[in-house]
Each structure stands twice: as C-alpha cells, then as structure tokens.
Structure 1
Amino acid sequence: MEYRDWHILQTLFQEQNITRTAELLYISQPALTKRLRQIEKEFGVQIVQRGSRGVHFTPQGEYLAKCADDMLMRLRNIKENVLNMGDEVNGTLRLGVSNYFARYKLPMILKSFKEQYPNVEFKVVTGWSKDVYKSVYNQDVHVGFVRGDYNWTDQKLLLFEESVCVVSRDPISLEDLPSLPRVDYETDPLLRALVDSWWTKHYSQPPLIGMEVDKADTCSEMVASGLGYAILPRVVLIGKEDLHMIELTSETGKPLKRKTWMFYHADSLELQMVKAFVHFMEQIDLQVPE
C-alpha cells in the first residue's frame, strides 16, 4: 500500500462518492477506480459496492478506511519528527481557528510569525469553536483557537477577553428591547447560551426577532442600516465605533466577558515549530479595545 492509497480510502470513505473523491484528489475517475481494484486485489477482499446514491463500504472496506486514518496520522507524525531532529524550526504547523478569530486576528499573527520563522508553513482549518475544540482534542491540529470556556484539561493560554454588547444604530434603552426588532444570527452554542441566559434573567418574554442572518458580520451591517438591534461580541464591532453599544452585565453589575483561548497538547511541544509558536503567542498582546 502506498501513501496515496491510504489517502484514497480515507477521502472516499468521507465522501462516499467516486466523482467527488476524484475531484478532491485531482485524479481521473478511471484512475481512481483502477487504484481501488488494485487495493482490493492486494487484500483479496471487496472494499466498496456501487449503488445509485454513491458507493457503500463493505465491513472489510470500513476497517481499511479506519486503518487509513491511523496510517496517515503515523506517516504525518514520522515526517514531523524527522524535521524536528535538527535545530532549525521548520515544517507545517496545523491550526484550527474559530471563524471570527481567523478573520480579525490570525492574518497579523501568521505574518509576524512567518517573518521570524520563514521555513514554517501553515495549514489552517476554520470553523465553529466546538469543531476546533474537537480537532485539537483528536490531535488533527497542533494548536486550536477557540472562543468560550470549554472544559480543556491540557495546556492553554488565555489570549483576550471581550465584552458582549447590545448594538444599535441609534441610542436605545435596555428596558425597550422586548418590543424592538432584533437582528439574529447563527453563532456557536456557548455564546448563544450566554445571551439566552442574560435575556431570561432580565425579561419575561422572548425577543422580537425581526430578521435572521447567517453571520455576525452580516448582522452588524444590518444593524448599521437601522434594521434592528443585535447582541454581538466586541471583536465583531471593530471599525464600527459609530454604533451605539451597551455592555451586557451580570446581576452584580460586572460586564459579561467572552474569553478566547489557545489550546494545545503538552506533548506537541516536542516539535520545534509548535514550541516556537506557543512561545511567540505568549509574547504578543491581542486585547480587544473597549
């Protein structure tokens, strides 16, 4: 079995579709089918069955697909360890990054780190914080940047805290919120829980949702156009200081803060590039202006 064969099995198992797998791997469908037949011949078993809705893996095929994950991870770790044997900091640093952090903070961080360590490359995967958390836990990435207080028991670094604000184009009163249209947006479960908890402690009726959008950036633009108020984290509002903002506070009057963390495993510090990156992150200031 060659490296590309394990990669084919892994990708095909994820996609369950020959055409899509071939496109992702940049090979033709006949070439992909030929490799599958050679793998089946090598192991003496049928790996997949074709159907009207794609391919279906046999029990033997499912086993080999799971082995593919382990084999590819072992090969990746071998390459990283070989590169780590010298004193030079190089290799590919795998990062899992929450969507908003990727947009507002990551470019500056990677630019500065690359200036210090030009031989380090990056593989960045973005998504919701809950998915990034899972990626770090499973060691699919070396370092994860997550927003919110997740139960992480390994190494972590608090990067910054930010306020969560009621935002509107014109001044409004918190007492009037239940009767005002809110622009709502899709967000991660921890922020949703924080906002919902604050609302239920202050109001006996649900919010009046006047519009739903998919992203916080879109939401802030709708607010700027006067289409309603929103409840947004401060980092999304950088550059929109002309909007009216009221910080959410607890029952004791303290501002509700949302934390952004960097998570990583202690044993990953054995890699020079991860050790260098963690040290780099410990030196920079990422605080969000209030």
Structure 2
Amino acid sequence: MDQSLNVFVMVAEKQNFSRAAEELHMTQPAVSQYIRSLEETMDVRLLERTNKYVRLTKAGEIVYHHAKEIVGLYGRMQHLVNDLSNEASGQLSIGASYTFGEYVLPHILARLLKDYPRIQPDVTIGNTAEIADLIMSRQLDVGIVEGRFKENRQLTTQAFAEDRMILVASADHPLTLTERDLEWKELEAQTWIIREEGSGTREAAESIFDRHSISPVRTMQFTSTQPIKEAVGAGLGISLLSEWAVQKDIRYGELVQLPVKDLPFVRQFSIVTSSQYQTKALKVFLELLLNNRELTLFREC
C-alpha cells in the first residue's frame, strides 16, 4: 500500500503534522514529504495549512473518505493472509450501539481475550445508525446493534439475542405506589426521558407510543443510556430502557420497574458485517456471540 495514504489519513485525523509524525514514529519533514508527494500525484491541494491549524480541502475530504477505506481494506487483507498459518490475533474493529456496547460487550471481550490474548479489540460506541454507516464505509469489521436500520445489500445482518425493554422510574416516584398495571393514557402525562434520533432505544420508545396511541406531554433527550438512568433516578421522569442496562440498578433499589400491560417490549440485537471474508479474530468473536453463553451468564449475574 502507498504509505502516503496512511500518512495522509493520520495528518487529517490529528490535524497536526507534529502529532501525526509522533504517532507514526517518523520525522515531521518525512511526513511533509509524503503529503507533498500525494498532492503532486493527485495534482490538487489536499490540506490547508497555517500556523494554527491543518484542515482538509474539499478535494482532501474526498481523498480522506476513500483513503480511510483503502487503509482498512489493506489491513484486513494482511490479517487474512496471516490467518492462513497463525492463530487468531491482530486488530479487531468492533462497533456497538450504546446499550450493548456499554453494558454487555465488556463481558464478551473479557472472555474473548482470556481465550485469545493476541487479539487487539478496538471498540467504537455509537447509535445504531452511526454504527451501520461505519460498517458500510468498511471502518469496522463488525457491528452489534439493536432496532432496525435502512436495508442495504452490502450489509449482512443476523439476529443473535433478545433485548427486553422495560419501563423504569425512581424508587420514590408516585407511580411506584400502585399495585395494579398502569394504563398507557396515564403514562402520557409523565415526562419521558428518551434517546436521540437514530438510536435503537429511541426507535423502541416511538414504537410503543405509536402502538398505544400516546404522545407524551413532555420529553427530555439524552445521547446515551447512562445519563438517562441518572435523570430517572433523580426523579426527572420515566424511561423505556433495556433490561440489560438497568438490572443492577433495580437490584440495588436505585430504579424500579413499573408494572405496565404489554411490556416488556422485545427487540433483537443483531450482528452486522459487510464482507464475506473474515479474519480468524472476527470468526472467533462471532462464534462467541452466537454461542450466547456469555449473554446468559451476564443476565443471571
């Protein structure tokens, strides 16, 4: 692979020649030479340089997008060739939506590294739409997401585990005093703490609203699950969250599951990949996910 592409990607991401040189274990003049060479080859200026910043030009944005994909493909090619004679090892780029990435994936990785210590996981956490986009651009080897996203022939999806969504409130919320199943219309008057657009958890909440023909009087939005749990625990409102995410909070009495008809709402965790070629590291990771034993142990703990 042309080393100038790798250098260009690093400079674009660090937005600084010195930091890029340090990361690449090169001298700054060598980095500058690689960039000049690439710009001469492309016959266009790729970076705007001043004493204060380094920024991509319009042409640079196009080259960066494709260079990132080329660098990723080259790395995967090397891993596949090495896999012919070696054990599972090397970098494994994993993307996960917040619920799975924050509450389940660490336990899966602990088991993976116990059996395959030479694998080097690199984890990106984002909402479902973001992870799907990164898989599409080949910046990730695999993604684990919940909910649905736009179908694409280049993506392969496989459901592998159920995610049960439940309604939670703080331990001293007035709704926790009732011994009957709550009606959806009375929940409409509550403040709902929800996720952002593109999130699988947001999609689940909107599905519930549509199914029961309710429109919450007030909503409050956060971009990850942890601050939602803190907001609910502080009494700011109620929220529909994954059982994976709140099981410890419920066990310790910090949150309470509300009794509501037609809940839990069940959705699927799905594995998303974009290539038929899989490194040994990816194969053993997928086998661990599909085995489901770690997920069962996590839910029971």
TM-score (norm 2): 0.75
**1:237 counterpart residue number:** 246
- Contact 1:154–1:263 at 8 Å: present in 2 too? yes
| Cα distance in 2, alignment partners of residues 276 and 46 from structure 1 | 43
- Cα offset for 1:237? 1.0
Q: SS in structure 1 opposite 2:88?
A: coil
Equivalent position of 1:154 in the other structure:
156
Give how far 1:109 is off. 1.0
Residues 143 and 284 of structure 1, relative CA distance in 2, 3 Å threshold: same
Asked if 1:186 corresponds to 2:188, the answer is no
Report if the CA contact (8 A) 1:167-1:232 is conserved: no
Determine what percentage of the aligned residue pairs are the same residue: 19
Number of aligned residue pairs: give it: 279
Between the aligned partners of 1:44 and 1:202, the Cα distance in structure 2 is 57
| Match status 1:275 vs 2:266 | no
Separation in 2, partners of 1:23, 1:99 = 30
Alignment of 1:1-290 (within 5 A): 2-3=2-3, 5-12=4-11, 18-19=15-16, 22-23=18-19, 26=22, 32-41=31-40, 43=41, 45-48=43-46, 50=48, 55=55, 57=57, 65=64, 68-69=67-68, 71-150=70-149, 151=151, 154=156, 156-169=158-171, 170-172=173-175, 173-174=182-183, 175-186=185-196, 188-203=198-213, 205-209=215-219, 211-241=220-250, 242=253, 243-246=255-258, 253=262, 255-265=264-274, 267-269=276-278, 271-285=279-293, 286-287=295-296, 288=299
TM-score (norm 1): 0.78
User: Contact 1:166 / 1:230 at 8 angstroms: preserved in 2?
Assistant: yes
The answer to whether the 8 Å contact 1:166/1:247 transfers is no
Contact 1:148 1:259 in 2 (8 A): yes
Supply the distance in 1 between the matched residues of 2:163 and 2:36 (Cα, whole angstroms): 54
Partners of 1:44 and 1:154 lie apart in 2 by: 34
For the structure 1 residues 117 and 226, does the alpha-carbon distance in structure 2 shift closer, same or farther, using more than 3 Å as the test?
same
- Closer, same or farther in 2 for the Cα pair 1:239/1:18, shift >3 Å? closer
**Given the superposition, is the C-alpha separation of residues 113 and 35 from structure 1 closer, same or farther in structure 2, using an over 3 Å criterion?**
same
Report if aligned partners of 2:9, 2:68 keep a CA contact under 8 Å in 1: yes
Amino acid at match of 2:243: R
Q: Is the 8 Å Cα contact of residues 162 and 266 (structure 2) preserved in structure 1? A: no
Alignment RMSD (CA, Å): 3.5
CA contact (8 A) 1:149 1:259 kept: no
Q: How far apart, in 2, do the equivalents of 1:44 and 1:192 lie?
A: 43
Q: Cα deviation per residue 1:174-218 (whole Å; 9 max; x = unaligned)? A: 443233333344364443233224224435554223x54443212
> Given the superposition, is the C-alpha separation of residues 247 and 233 from structure 1 closer, same or farther in structure 2, using an over 3 Å criterion?
farther
Unaligned runs of 5+ in 2: 176-181
Relative to 1, partners in 2 of residues 1:91 and 1:184: Cα closer, same or farther, differing over 3 Å?
A: closer
List alignment gaps of at least 5 residues for structure 1.
Answer: none
Q: CA deviation at 1:247?
A: 6.1
Q: How far off is 1:44 after superposition?
A: 7.9
Q: Distance in 1 between matches of 2:98 and 2:20?
A: 23
Native 8 Å contact 2:127 2:199 kept in 1: no
CA distance in 2 between partners of 1:171 and 1:156 (Å): 41
